[in-house]
Amino acid sequence: MIRWTRSARIATGKDLQAMKWAKEIQQFNNKKYKLQGTVYLDLFGEYGTIRWFTDFPDLATLEKVMNQVLADQEYLQKLSQVPGLFIQGSGFDTVMRTL
């Protein structure tokens, strides 16, 4: 099992808009790409950090879905709504596997 995660810190004063967008983009990806991803908000530690999680059966499937998403004009249009919602440079991706 492969787990992909992305995290980003919400920009000051953009909490509600960023949380709404984070949920909407996850719902879009789940529906369009038949994923079962989830989105979370840190309550302790780095408060204001949103984290997306999606599991894939293997790296090949992750790569296939990522290529589809990055070529999807509707997805890219949704990304155009992001500027100002998150602190620039705070995005971080991780890919891990089960032991």
Q: What is the pLDDT of residue 45?
A: 87
- 3-state SS of the chain: helix, strand, coil percent to 5? 40, 30, 35
- The encoded tokens of residue 93 equal 């991706």
- Note the pTM of the prediction, 2 decimals: 0.89
Query: With the CA atoms of 73, 96, 22 and 8 taken in that order, what torsion angle do they form, in degrees rounded to the nearest 10?
Result: -110
Residue with tokens 């984290």: 51
Q: What is the pLDDT of residue 87?
A: 95
Query: Domain 2-97 falls in which CATH fold?
Result: Alpha-Beta Plaits (3.30.70)
Collect all residues with Cβ–Cβ distance below 8 Å to 30 and sequence separation of at least 6.
36, 37
Percent of the chain with pLDDT over 90: 90
pLDDT tens digits, residue range 44-86? Answer: 988 899 999 999 999 999 999 999 999 999 999 998 888 899 9
Q: What is the pLDDT of residue 80?
A: 87
Residue from 14, 6, 10 nearest 35 by CA: 6
